[in-house]
Amino acid sequence: MSDLQSADFRRALNHVAENERDARHHTRTLRDAFDKVCHDKGVYQGDGPPMAYFQTTEYSPRQFIYISFGMSGEKPQGQPMETSLHVGEVIRASVATFSEWLQPNRTLVWRTRPEVDMNDDGSERWASYWRCVQLDDDAKQIDITWNF
C-alpha cells in the first residue's frame, strides 16, 4: 500500500470512528429528552421482549404490537426513514413527534430505545429510530407470555 493509500485509509477509519462517537453522543441526547417527556407526562418505561408482539396473561389477554418510529412519526413497514443533514433537526423533530404521540399516565414498553445514527448510504445524513408500544392503562407490571 502506498503512503497516499495508507493516509486515505487512516482518514476513512478516523471518519467512521468520529461518526460513531457523534452517533453515541446524539443518541444520549435524544434518550435524555425522551426520558424528560416521559417524566413530565407521568409515563412509566420498561423494556419488552424482543418479538414483534407480546400478549398479557390476564383473564382477558391483550396482544400488543410494537410500532416503529422516526423523526417524522410512525414508520410503515418497508418505508425509508426520513433523514436530515442537520442532527439538531433530527433530535428536535424526534422529540416533538414523540411528545405529541405519547399519552399521559401510560406504560411505555420499548423494543428499541431511541437511536440517532448516520444513514449508511454514504450521504452523510442523520436519522432517528425507536420502536415501542404504549399500553392503554397505567400498568406498572406486565405479565408476558413468551412465544419462541
Where are the domains positioned within the chain? 3-145
Between CA 146 and CA 51 the distance in angstroms is: 9
Q: Which of 97, 107, 96 is nearest to 73 (CA)?
A: 97
Interatomic CA distance for residues 2 and 8, integer angstroms: 10
Q: Render pLDDT for 90-136 as a digit per residue (tens, 0 to 9).
A: 999 999 999 999 999 888 999 999 999 988 777 889 999 999 998 87
Burial of 83 (C-beta count, 10 Å sphere; 0-12/13-18/19+): buried
Contacts of 32 (CB under 8 A, 6+ apart): none
What's the pTM? 0.78
Here the cell at position 125 is 445524513
User: Is 19 or 85 the better-scoring residue by pLDDT?
Assistant: 85
Q: Is the pLDDT of residue 6 over 60?
A: no
Instruction: Give me the mean pLDDT over the 22-38 stretch.
Output: 96
Task: Give the percent of the chain with pLDDT over 90.
Answer: 47
Sign of the torsion angle spanned by Cα atoms 82, 33, 102, 44: positive
pLDDT tens figures, 116-125: 998 877 788 9
Q: What's the chain's average pLDDT?
A: 81
For 3-145, CATH number out of 3.30.2400, 2.50.20, 3.30.1490, 2.10.260 equals 3.30.2400
Q: Which residue stretches of 1-143 are H helix?
A: 3-40, 87-101
